[in-house]
């Protein structure tokens, strides 16, 4: 196991320990189980505590893999692997490294979301640091009990308000902190003993948890306002005081706190918000790679049709980021993080002004397109300044002729079913999409409240909300991104409208990024069929390949996964190695460019953001360029 993977070879030697007998076997960091050789069994008093046979790590992994496959569901496999980690880190990481592609979805998204939702029910053993609001006066004592004498490089912390796509999960949010910490080791090469998963338990507004007699967290409503800020600040100051060179990774904070806390601390410590910066950087890399594929596709088409007299579309599909048109569904922390990251890259790479770069984005939330209206000036003034930058100007008036809905084409509004499902849709379609009471969170907005418009409807007049479908028809986006957790939002009408506005030979870039899988804005199989195989698709969670016939040929499209885990382990590890005092925007853009460069042209003209044919092992991850993203040592 790569306990010292980040150190030069001449500095790595035997690990000296004082534990013997059962305490040694009970330490997951030190326990090797049946892999302890005879000499170490004698030296550490393990004779009689282990069976006779000495196994290699390969043999142990083979046995553990067989045990794993006896579990018939993903959550049972997740629980088995968690138990294995509680016993033997060497075996745990060895097994994951040997079956990386298969097991990452088990220990990370999407299965970890289910484990977090059922944390209190599944609880067996604590892991990480639990800091609870009613115990705030002894926070430093609790902090030091967990960290004293340890060389900590990384703290992954959450307040659990916006976990994955499942919302407020209270103390169960520790599960996302532990999963992220595992990825830092698995694909970044960080010594797992140098990271601390943290949950900041400030209560929960999840009624299911509050009414659960077995809930193991603090069973009170969330603390907010000044008391919340003081609690968070107390933790951050402890990190700065005792581990000034560590990386502080913020994870799954609510939309009202994520940007605010990042701004507050990023200039005084190496602070990284994965939902904002990680999501933005990996999506930027994905788009850079996709634009390259679309460019090659368009060039090939033009070359093949050079002698043709057929006219070409007036749609925009150029080579630079600033030539693209971005429609983003979901204006919460993830959507804003993506827009901000792409905008900053435009300014840096293409030399356009900030205002000009902002003009390339159309943000759509639950109330429709964000744009100025005479009656929403107070709302705009109260809006976060970042979000306000992307509001479309009031003078932008679109011609509504021909876009009015026929009466029979009414869509169902947000009342417990997907707004894109037509009233005459098959029952199965309604059932598959109608999970708003639990699934669709829209970044803190109540999904069950009645609204004046649905994302696929058209405005009846200039004062009405402007829907996703209307925006797509008017803007003719080259890139469509979903961060809404609105399952099915990218329906056939929306996608075919996008395809109709795509330049001949170019390829629409469609990224339904919401997690977990059941909350994705579209299913890749539908996207590929609706676009006849032309779409460049990446998702936020893993999906199986799509097999279909294109121009009479059977083709398999491997679906790219636009997952933050492709960038934050390498980026964070680089910052740790450089002992960076800040995580700068330049680092994020450099990391995205490097990741995009690793995406090769695919034989079937899809694109991928990772390029490993064999998974890295814990001893060679840092030498694997597919998983490295260096942070600037000058930062």
DSSP labels, 137-181: GGHHHHHHHHHTT----EEEEE--TTBTTTB--GGGGHHHHHHHH
515 is in an annotated binding site: yes
- The answer to whether residue 592 sits within a structural domain is no
Summary mean pLDDT of the chain: 82
Output the pLDDT for position 512: 97
- The answer to whether residue 116 sits within a structural domain is no
Distance in angstroms (rounded) separating the CA atoms of residues 109 and 100: 13
Which of 286, 239, 230, 279 minimizes the C-alpha distance to 259? 279
- Please check whether residue 325 is in contact with residue 478, taking contact to mean a CB–CB distance below 8 angstroms: yes
> Strands 195-201 and 129-132: what pairing?
parallel
Say whether pLDDT at 356 is over 60: yes
Distance in angstroms (rounded) separating the CA atoms of residues 478 and 243: 45
- The answer to whether residue 249 sits within a structural domain is no
Distance in angstroms (rounded) separating the CA atoms of residues 504 and 527: 18
Distance in angstroms (rounded) separating the CA atoms of residues 457 and 423: 13
- Please check whether residue 281 is in contact with residue 341, taking contact to mean a CB–CB distance below 8 angstroms: yes
- The answer to whether residue 260 sits within a structural domain is no
180 is catalytic: yes
Distance in angstroms (rounded) separating the CA atoms of residues 290 and 284: 10
563 is in an annotated binding site: yes
Say whether pLDDT at 449 is over 50: no
Which residues, 6+ apart, have CB-to-CB distance to 614 below 8 Å? Answer: none
Find the catalytic residue in 32, 77, 85, 180.
180
Structure-block tokens of residue 607: 């694109």
Structure-block tokens of residue 543: 């999906």
Say what percent of the chain tops pLDDT 70.
76
Residue 537 DSSP code:
E
**Band (332; pLDDT cuts 50, 70, 90):** confident
**Band (465; pLDDT cuts 50, 70, 90):** confident
CB under 8 Å, gap of 24 or more: what pairs does 261-268 form?
261/232, 265/236, 266/582, 266/583, 267/582, 268/240
DSSP string, 309-332: ----------SSGGG--EEEE--S
**Band (504; pLDDT cuts 50, 70, 90):** confident
Output the pLDDT for position 95: 98
Alpha helices, DSSP H, located in 161-278: 174-186, 207-210, 225-242, 255-265
228 is catalytic: no
- Please check whether residue 499 is in contact with residue 317, taking contact to mean a CB–CB distance below 8 angstroms: no
> Strands 546-550 and 479-482: what pairing?
unpaired
Say whether pLDDT at 221 is over 90: yes
Backbone angles phi, psi at 31, to 5 degrees: -65, 130
- The answer to whether residue 391 sits within a structural domain is no
Structure-block tokens of residue 55: 């196994």
Say whether pLDDT at 613 is over 60: no
- Please check whether residue 91 is in contact with residue 60, taking contact to mean a CB–CB distance below 8 angstroms: yes
**Band (109; pLDDT cuts 50, 70, 90):** confident
Q: Which residues pair with 550 in a beta bridge?
A: 553
Backbone angles phi, psi at 483, to 5 degrees: -135, 35
**What CATH number should be reported for the domain holding residue 102?**
1.20.1370.30
Find the range with the poorest average confidence among 34-43, 74-83, 178-187, 437-446: 437-446
448 is in an annotated binding site: no
- The answer to whether residue 81 sits within a structural domain is yes
251 is in an annotated binding site: yes
Q: What number of other Cβ atoms are within 10 A of residue 186's Cβ?
A: 28
Over residues 356-375, the mean pLDDT reads 87
Alpha helices, DSSP H, located in 393-508: 427-433, 468-475, 492-500
Output the pLDDT for position 316: 41
3-state class (DSSP) for residue 285: helix
Q: Give the domain range for residue 286.
A: 278-302+313-373+410-563
- The answer to whether residue 222 sits within a structural domain is no
- Please check whether residue 380 is in contact with residue 388, taking contact to mean a CB–CB distance below 8 angstroms: yes
Residue 461 DSSP code:
S
Over residues 74-80, the mean pLDDT reads 98
Find the range with the poorest average confidence among 253-262, 360-369, 378-387, 619-628: 619-628
Distance in angstroms (rounded) separating the CA atoms of residues 581 and 633: 10
Predicted model pTM: 0.80
Domain finish residue from 55, 85, 107: 107
Over residues 261-288, the mean pLDDT reads 96
Backbone angles phi, psi at 24, to 5 degrees: -70, -45
Domain finish residue from 50, 85, 107: 107
**What CATH number should be reported for the domain holding residue 359?**
3.40.50.720
Output the pLDDT for position 404: 37
| 285 against 405, higher pLDDT | 285
Number of domains comprising the chain: 2
Give the N- to C-terminal CA distance of the chain in Å, as an integer.
30
Output the pLDDT for position 614: 34
- The answer to whether residue 609 sits within a structural domain is no
Output the pLDDT for position 305: 61
Domain finish residue from 79, 107, 135: 107
Q: Which helix (H) or strand (E) holds 101?
A: helix 100-107
- Please check whether residue 457 is in contact with residue 411, taking contact to mean a CB–CB distance below 8 angstroms: yes
Find the catalytic residue in 92, 93, 108, 243.
108
**Band (439; pLDDT cuts 50, 70, 90):** very low
pLDDT in tens, 508-548: 999 999 988 889 999 999 999 999 999 999 999 889 999 99
């Amino acid at each position: 196991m790569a306990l010292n993977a980040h150190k030069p070879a001449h500095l790595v030697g035997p690990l000296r320990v004082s534990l013997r007998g059962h305490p040694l076997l009970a330490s997951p960091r030190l326990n090797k189980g049946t892999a302890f050789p005879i000499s170490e069994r004698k030296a550490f008093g393990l004779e009689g505590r282990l069976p006779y046979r000495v196994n290699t790590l390969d043999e142990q992994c083979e046995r553990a893999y067989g045990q794993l496959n006896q579990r018939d569901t993903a959550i049972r496999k997740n629980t088995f692997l968690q138990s294995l980690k509680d016993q033997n880190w060497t075996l745990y990481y060895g097994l994951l490294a040997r079956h990386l592609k298969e097991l990452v979805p088990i220990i990370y998204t999407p299965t970890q979301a289910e484990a977090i939702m059922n944390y209190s029910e599944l609880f067996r053993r604590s892991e990480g640091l639990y800091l609870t609001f009613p115990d705030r006066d002894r926070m430093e004592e609790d902090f030091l009990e967990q960290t004293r004498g340890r060389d900590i490089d990384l703290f992954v912390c959450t307040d659990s308000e916006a976990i994955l796509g499942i919302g407020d999960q209270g103390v169960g949010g520790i599960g996302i902190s532990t999963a992220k910490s595992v990825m830092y080791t698995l694909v970044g090469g960080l010594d797992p003993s140098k990271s601390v998963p943290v949950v900041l338990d400030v209560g929960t507004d999840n009624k299911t948890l509050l009414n659960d007699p077995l809930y193991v967290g603090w069973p009170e409503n969330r603390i907010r306002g000044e008391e919340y800020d003081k609690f968070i600040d107390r933790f951050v100051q402890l990190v700065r005081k005792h581990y000034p060179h560590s990386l502080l990774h913020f994870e799954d904070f609510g939309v009202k706190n994520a940007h605010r806390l990042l701004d507050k601390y990023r200039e005084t410590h190496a602070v990284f918000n994965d939902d904002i910066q990680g999501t933005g950087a990996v999506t930027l890399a994905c788009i850079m790679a996709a634009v390259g594929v679309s460019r090659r596709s368009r060039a090939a088409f033009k070359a093949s049709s050079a002698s043709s007299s057929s006219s070409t579309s007036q749609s925009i599909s150029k080579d630079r980021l600033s030539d693209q048109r971005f429609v983003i569904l979901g204006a919460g922390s993830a959507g804003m993080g993506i827009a901000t990251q792409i905008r900053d890259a435009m300014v840096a790479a293409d030399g356009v002004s900030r205002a000009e770069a902002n003009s390339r984005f159309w943000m759509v939330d639950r109330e429709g397109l964000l744009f100025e209206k005479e009656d929403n000036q107070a709302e705009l003034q109260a809006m976060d300044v970042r979000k306000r930058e992307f509001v479309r100007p009031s003078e932008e008036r679109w011609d509504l002729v021909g876009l009015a809905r026929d009466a029979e084409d009414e869509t169902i509004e947000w009342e417990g079913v997907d707004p894109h499902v037509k009233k005459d849709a098959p029952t199965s379609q309604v059932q598959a999409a109608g999970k708003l009471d639990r699934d669709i969170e829209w970044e803190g907005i109540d999904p069950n409240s009645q609204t004046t418009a649905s994302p696929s409807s058209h405005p009846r007049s200039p004062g009405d909300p402007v829907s996703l479908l209307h925006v797509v028809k008017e803007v003719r986006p080259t890139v469509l991104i979903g961060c809404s957790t609105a399952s099915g939002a990218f329906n056939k009408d929306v996608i075919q409208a996008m395809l109709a506005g795509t330049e001949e030979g170019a390829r629409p870039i469609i990224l339904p990024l919401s997690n977990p899988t059941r909350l994705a804005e579209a299913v890749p199989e539908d996207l590929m069929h609706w676009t006849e195989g032309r779409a460049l698709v990446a998702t936020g969670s893993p999906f199986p390949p799509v097999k279909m016939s294109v121009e009479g040929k059977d083709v398999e499209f491997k679906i790219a996964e636009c997952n933050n885990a492709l960038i934050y382990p390498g980026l964070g590890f680089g910052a740790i190695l450089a002992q960076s005092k800040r995580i700068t925007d330049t680092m994020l853009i450099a990391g995205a460019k490097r990741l995009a460069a690793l995406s090769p042209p695919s034989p079937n003209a899809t694109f991928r953001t990772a390029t490993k044919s064999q998974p890295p092992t814990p001893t060679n991850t840092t030498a694997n360029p597919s998983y490295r993203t260096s942070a600037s040592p000058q930062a």
